[in-house]
Amino acid sequence: MAEVLEFRVPAGSAHTLLVWGLEPQAGLEHSLFSAFSRFGPLYSVRARGNAAVAGPGYCGVIKFYSAGDASRAQRAYNGQRLFQKCPLKVCVCPKQKGIQQQAPALSSNKCQELANHYLGFNGWSSHIITLQKVSGLDGENEELGQSSQQGSTKFLCALEVTLPQHGVCSRGVAVGQADVGDGQDPLELITATRRAQKLAVGKALSGAFQKILLIVLENGKVAVEYNSCQEEPTDSLTEEELKGLVQVKVVDIE
């Protein structure tokens, strides 16, 4: 069997393990991360005190990107002591009923972590096609919950991610915005400009990864597919056309 991984926040109970019987100690979350990350990359690790009805002690919540990795960790560690004296109880999170909504996209940093693990540091690359200052994009202030009177700087980024070993290229286009106050402080303006640029690049990188699917096989090998269902109008433009994207009013940027 194979498992399909998207560059989105892992959703569903099969990706999450509950760890009971933890003893209070310094660096507990670090110890959990070290132990469970042996089975695969982790999205998050949390440790917290038990509820009063559960008695003293701590419990942990471990979220894997891969449900297969979570299952292997559960079978291996349930009933084991690991880094403490008492054995732990490790179980898969109970299934939650309700409407399943599409999970949010991973941040650019998380996308890079996942890509580095499954594709290798040299298995992918990205380059910025264009990063340009823009203003007055219709509806943008409303989407970001800001009024048009506030001073801000906005940058648009078009970026391409390439996976040479798999022959896959994917593009992302995004806008980053940062407040500049009254615009009178040059240092504040420079800081806001860098923040807006960084935000635009990060969102564009994450957007490009949303169109990539990782197919993890049982033998550990990884195949890649391009998710054409996530294609945008900008994917059909040439790099020269993308550089003039601000003038292409019919393009829906996000």
Q: What is the pLDDT of residues 181-217, one digit of tens each?
A: 776 778 888 899 999 999 999 999 999 999 999 999 9
Q: Domain residues for 194?
A: 108-138+152-247
Q: Show the 3-state SS of 97-113.
A: CCCCCCCCECCHHHHHH
Bridge partners (DSSP) listed for residue 214:
5, 224
2 part of a folded domain: no
Q: pLDDT at position 47, please? A: 92
Can you list the alpha helix ranges (DSSP code H) found in 120-243? 140-143, 186-209, 239-243
CATH number of the domain encompassing residue 197: 3.30.390
Q: Are residues 32 and 78 in the same domain?
A: yes
Q: Clarify whether residues 60 and 125 are in a common domain.
A: no
Instruction: Name the band, by pLDDT with cuts 50, 70 and 90, for residue 231.
Output: confident
Domains contained in the chain, number: 2
Q: Are strands 125-134 and 89-92 parallel, antiparallel or unpaired?
A: unpaired
Distance of alpha carbon 46 from alpha carbon 24, whole angstroms: 13
Q: Say if residue 112 is in the same domain as residue 233.
A: yes
Model confidence over 58-114: pLDDT tens digits?
899 999 999 999 999 999 999 999 999 999 999 998 876 655 677 899 999 999 999
Is there a single domain that holds both residue 52 and residue 25? yes
- Is 130 in the same domain as 177? yes
**Same domain as 88, residue 24:** yes
Residue 162 is assigned to a structural domain of this protein: yes
Q: What is the pTM of this model?
A: 0.84
Q: Are residues 122 and 240 in the same domain?
A: yes
| Contact of 174 with 200, CB cutoff 8 Å | yes
Residue 42 lies in a domain: yes
Question: What is the per-residue pLDDT for 253?
Answer: 44
- Asked if residue 98 is part of any domain, the answer here is no
Chain-centroid distance, C-alpha 142: 24
Residues 37 and 79 occupy one common structural domain: yes
Both 16 and 122 in one domain: the answer is no
